[in-house]
């Protein structure tokens, strides 16, 4: 991890399920990247809420970004939300203004495929369940080769949050995740190994709020809610998973990573939704008949630099 400056703003489409940390990720992506579009997916809460929240976040920050509504349910798994963490509407206890904008389309998958075809250097960042991305791969099997990068917030080599070994975004639609991990290598897995090291709390909320802008106040309120939920679990600060995944794209030099085969477990009684990451020596992996595809696994970050960047993004509005 070095402290090189970032010289360009990557072009990003953000697939998300806002969600407290998704909303902060939208603000972060639009500040440090060129945010070409937002696609929404069922996840933390239902698709009506995640789509409404994406539109509301863009509106509060004055972002002129199209929002395309996506999948309303997982491919096969039953629908399971994370309203216990994100609140019934997905944005904690924030009172949102009335919407003055509406969705650009209700076909997120078409938008993903079309944008990947028409933009050469597109980074697709997916920070919710992988339903839309799996459906896009089914519609265009060459999707991965059209992208400059595919980064997901999800999974983890040595950690789970919904179960001892499964992370929410993979666990919520494991069949979709399996399609993406199997058919879209290499992807960058920004999993719980790293996101649990980038923790924001009361100090960061105060720094955001001190600017007095509506967007920074909005983000501070989201962070307060996440922080309060985390304290109920005995944690001293809150991971802001999805914004960390954005910084992994815009400031990759701040992260430590290595390449490993990763498989999504679909059948285990106790392990469904686990991202099984093979960290054995290459010779041991080479002896396997058919090892899973190799992905870029992110382990660690210069946490204080990443936190400062997230705050910098939020207070810029």
- CB of residue 119 vs Ca ion: minimum separation in angstroms? 23
Of residues 106 through 145, those in contact with ligand BDR by CB under 6 A are 127-128
Draw the binding track, 70-99, toward ligand BDR (x: CB under 6 A; -: no contact): ------------x--x--------------
For residue 153, state whether it binds ligand BDR (rule: CB under 6 A).
Answer: yes
For residue 147, state whether it binds Ca ion (rule: CB under 5 A).
Answer: no
SS3 for 221-272 is HHHHHHHHHHHHCCCCCEECHHHHHHHHHHCHHHEEEEEEEEEECCCCCCCC
Cα(61)–Cα(153) distance, integer angstroms = 23
Cα(23)–Cα(40) distance, integer angstroms = 11
Residue from 96, 170, 183 nearest 128 by CA:
170
Choice among 241, 251, 260, 295 that is catalytic: 241
Of residues 169 through 188, those in contact with ligand BDR by CB under 6 A are 169
Draw the binding track, 230-249, toward Ca ion (x: CB under 5 A; -: no contact): ------------x-------
Q: DSSP labels for 174-218?
A: HHHHHHHHHHS-S-EEE-HHHHTT-EE-HHHHHHHHTT--HHHHH
Contact 143, 150 (CB under 8 A): no
With CB under 6 A, what is the number of residues at the site for ligand BDR?
A: 15
Residue nearest to ligand BDR (CB): 168
**241 is annotated as an active-site residue:** yes
- CB of residue 52 vs ligand BDR: minimum separation in angstroms? 16
- CB of residue 157 vs ligand BDR: minimum separation in angstroms? 14
From the list Ca ion, ligand BDR, none, which binds 188 (C-beta under 5 to 8 Å, kind-based)? none
Cα(134)–Cα(177) distance, integer angstroms = 7
With CB under 5 A, what is the number of residues at the site for Ca ion?
A: 6
Of residues 214 through 273, those in contact with ligand BDR by CB under 6 A are 241-242
User: Of these, 167, 204, 278, 296, which contacts ligand BDR (CB under 6 A)?
Assistant: 167
For residue 19, state whether it binds ligand BDR (rule: CB under 6 A).
Answer: yes
* Radius of gyration (C-alpha) of the chain in whole angstroms: 18
Q: Which distant-in-sequence residues (6+ apart) come within 8 Å of 112 by Cβ?
A: 13, 15, 39, 124, 132, 133, 136, 143
Of residues 37 through 66, those in contact with ligand BDR by CB under 6 A are 44
- CB of residue 126 vs Ca ion: minimum separation in angstroms? 9
Other C-beta atoms within 10 Å of 232: how many? Answer: 9
- C-alpha distances in angstroms, 163 versus 122, 156, 271? 33, 12, 8
User: Which residues are designated catalytic?
Assistant: 241
Which chain residues interact with Ca ion by CB under 5 A? 17, 19, 22, 127-128, 242
Interaction site with ligand BDR (CB under 6 A): 19, 21-22, 44, 82, 85, 127-128, 153, 161, 167-169, 241-242
């Amino acid at each position: 991890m070095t402290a090189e400056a970032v010289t360009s703003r990557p072009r990003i489409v953000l697939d998300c399920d806002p969600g407290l940390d998704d909303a902060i990720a939208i603000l972060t992506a639009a500040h440090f990247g060129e945010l070409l579009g937002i696609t929404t997916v069922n996840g933390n809460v239902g698709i009506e809420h995640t789509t409404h929240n994406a539109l509301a976040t863009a509106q509060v920050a004055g972002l002129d970004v199209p929002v395309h509504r996506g999948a309303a349910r997982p491919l096969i798994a039953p629908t399971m939300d994370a309203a216990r963490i994100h609140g019934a509407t997905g944005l904690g206890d924030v009172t949102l203004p009335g919407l003055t904008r509406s969705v650009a389309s209700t076909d997120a998958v078409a938008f993903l495929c079309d944008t990947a075809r028409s933009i050469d250097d597109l980074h697709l960042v997916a920070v919710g369940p992988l339903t839309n991305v799996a459906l896009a791969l089914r519609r265009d099997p060459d999707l991965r080769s059209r992208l400059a990068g595919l980064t997901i917030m999800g999974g983890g080599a040595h950690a789970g949050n919904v179960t001892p070994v499964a992370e929410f975004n993979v666990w919520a639609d494991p069949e979709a995740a399996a399609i993406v991990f199997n058919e879209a290598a290499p992807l960058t897995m920004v999993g719980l190994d790293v996101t649990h090291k980038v923790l924001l709390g009361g100090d960061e909320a105060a720094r955001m709020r001190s600017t007095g802008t509506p967007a920074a106040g909005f983000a501070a309120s989201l962070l307060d809610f996440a922080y309060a939920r985390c304290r109920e679990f005995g944690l001293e600060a809150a991971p802001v998973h999805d914004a960390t995944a954005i910084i992994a794209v815009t400031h990759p030099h701040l992260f430590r990573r290595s390449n490993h085969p990763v498989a999504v477990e679909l059948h285990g009684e106790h392990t469904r939704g686990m991202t099984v990451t093979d960290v054995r020596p290459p010779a041991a992996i080479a002896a396997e008949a058919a090892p899973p595809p190799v992905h870029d696994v992110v382990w660690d970050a210069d946490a204080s630099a990443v936190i400062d960047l997230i705050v910098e993004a939020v207070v810029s509005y």
